[in-house]
């Protein structure tokens, strides 16, 4: 949130419930390769989650070689491989667990879309995120055209609900 809002507003917003929602849809043609899959949250062990610090390169660096590395935490919005200050943020990855149950929609078309929650600050037992990833379909033609899709993320704020 600190990458998108002034620090004072982000601090204020984080005191109440907030979430990040995602809309994902194929464009141009049906998905035949590397579809988007979702893990049933009820099958996830909390110990499977891993925090990763995503580091954006300093302005003008021109490359993303250090994005999403497991690096130690530094002060908010501060990372540098060459002395320049750049943005960073935390994301969560998930380790493999054979108890996880994954689902996907086959041959998803541009007329269809996934709408899902990436993060929810509310900690009351509900699913706080929709764990998702693409994966290679068994028997897919690796030489076929890649999947084309669009993704839109937005913040959602509840001024009348606390985070806890």
pLDDT tens digits for range 69-92:
444 444 444 444 445 566 677 788
Q: Is residue 3 part of a domain?
A: no
Query: What pLDDT does 92 receive?
Result: 84
Distance CA 127, CA 129 (A): 6
- Residue 10 reports pLDDT greater than 60: yes
Parent domain of 88: 49-96
For residue 87, what pLDDT is reported? 67
What's the pLDDT score for residue 19?
Answer: 93
Average pLDDT (4-8) is 80
How much is the average pLDDT of 14-27? 93
- Alpha carbon distances (Å) from 67 to 23, 52, 125: 23, 10, 31
Arithmetic mean of pLDDT over the chain? 82
Q: Is the pLDDT of residue 6 over 90?
A: no
Say how far residue 5 (Cα) sits from the centre of its chain: 18
Considering the domain architecture, whether residues 77 and 133 belong to the same structural domain is answered as: no
How crowded is residue 11: how many other Cβ atoms within 10 Å of its Cβ?
12
Higher pLDDT, 67 or 5: 5
**Which structure tokens are listed for 56?**
């954006």
Taking CA atoms, 159 is separated from 2, 4, 79, in Å, by 18, 18, 32
Q: Is residue 11 part of a domain?
A: no
Task: Using the predicted structure, report yes or no on whether residue 145 has a pLDDT greater than 90.
Answer: no
Give CA–CA dist 122/127, Å, rounded: 9
* Whether the predicted pLDDT of 27 surpasses 90: yes
CA distance linking residue 58 with residue 35, whole number of Å: 32
How many domains in the chain?
Answer: 2
Tell me which DSSP letter residue 86 carries: B
In a domain, 139, yes or no: yes
Note whether 22 and 84 are same-domain residues: no
Residue 75 and residue 56 share a domain: yes
Residue 126 has pLDDT above 50, yes or no: yes
Give the C-alpha separation, 134 to 41, whole Å. Answer: 17
In three-state secondary structure terms, 135 is coil
The average pLDDT across 144-162 equals 90
Q: Are residues 29 and 82 in the same domain?
A: no
Residue-level pLDDT at 95: 92
């Amino acid at each position: 949130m600190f990458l998108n809002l002034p620090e004072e507003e982000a601090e204020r917003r984080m005191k109440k419930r907030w979430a990040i929602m995602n809309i994902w849809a194929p464009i141009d043609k049906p998905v035949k390769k590397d579809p988007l899959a979702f893990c049933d949250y009820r099958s996830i062990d909390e110990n499977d989650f891993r925090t990763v610090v995503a580091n954006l390169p300093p302005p003008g660096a021109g490359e993303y070689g250090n994005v999403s590395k497991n690096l130690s935490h530094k002060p908010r919005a501060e990372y540098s491989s060459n002395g320049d200050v750049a943005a960073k943020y935390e994301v969560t990855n998930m380790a493999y667990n054979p108890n996880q149950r994954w689902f996907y929609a086959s041959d998803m078309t541009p007329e269809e879309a996934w709408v899902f929650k990436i993060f929810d600050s509310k900690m009351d037992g509900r699913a706080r995120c929709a764990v998702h990833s693409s994966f290679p379909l068994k028997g897919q033609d690796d030489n076929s055209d890649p999947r084309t899709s669009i993704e839109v993320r937005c913040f959602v704020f509840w001024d009348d609900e606390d985070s806890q």
